Amino acid sequence: MLELVDLHYTYPDGTSALRGVSLRIDAGEKVALVGPNGAGKSTLLLHLNGVLRPRSGAVQIAAQPISDANIRQVRAQVGMVFQDPDDQLFSPTVFEDVAFGPLHMGLEEADVRGRVTLALDQVGMRGFETRMPHHMSLGQRKRVAIATVLSMTPSILALDEPSAGLDPRARRGLIELLHSLPQAMIVSTHDMRMVAEVFPRTIVLEQGQIAFDGPSATLLADAAMLLRYGLEV
């Protein structure tokens, strides 16, 4: 479903963010991406739908390298959800935000409405179609941001710090939502309790390289490894 092959990326100021990252994620697999700030987690996620392009190496979605020719299809297939939902929600109403992607796919109005209804159902936000996103709670806006990518019927979800800033009830609702979604998923997070509950596999990034890739239970049970990578349960 998703494969990175010897991925390297250096920012224009000379900062080396990714240094030879290779990984594979299969259909339906849920993977946590953890590590200290500056490890390269967000940079990696931004490569998955072509927001950033590698200096060397390759990103392949369903065995096809990302290119200018297929970038629109890739962005429909890989749903990127940013840490701050306000970076994703810009329309006057929830309906218009969730409908934006399907409309730009050229779908008929009935198909667009069907996709919006289904996506809002999936995130538990049906009935909020006419609400203004900026009048909603952070947890509600995060759910709507996820709905904006679900309406594109992606095969892969890439989420950056989805539980950041949520109160306990909203966080619990997010965990239940992530459990319920069938898509392959790679999620950057510092929330190790969420990792334990949702993600069977964890990848640790350190200084732009993979330091660990294996069962989450193995990582969480190893106090020395958690200390080494600056992770806390």
Tens-digit pLDDT profile for residues 66-124: 888 888 888 888 999 999 999 999 999 999 999 999 998 888 999 999 999 999 999 99
Convert the pLDDT of each residue in 10-24 to its tens digit.
999 988 999 999 999
What pLDDT is stored for residue 68 in this prediction?
85
Q: Specify if 24 maps to a domain.
A: yes
Task: Decide if 137 contacts 145 (C-beta within 8 A).
Answer: no
Q: Does the residue 233 lie in any domain?
A: no
Judged by DSSP in three states, 11 sits in coil
Which CATH number characterizes residue 52's domain?
A: 3.40.50.300
Which CA distances in Å does 10 have to 35, 65, 103?
18, 20, 35
Residue 70, classed as helix, strand or coil, is: coil
On whether the CB atoms of residues 162 and 81 are closer than 8 A, the answer is yes
Closest CA to 102 of 86, 120, 125: 120
Q: What is the pLDDT of residues 119-154, one digit of tens each?
A: 999 999 999 999 999 999 999 999 999 999 999 999
Q: What is the pLDDT of residues 191-222, one digit of tens each?
A: 999 999 999 999 999 999 999 999 999 999 99
**Is 19 within the bounds of a domain?**
yes
Rounded Cα distance between 81 and 150, Å, is: 10
Question: By residue range, what is the domain housing residue 135?
Answer: 2-228
DSSP code of residue 28 = T
The number of domains in the chain is 1
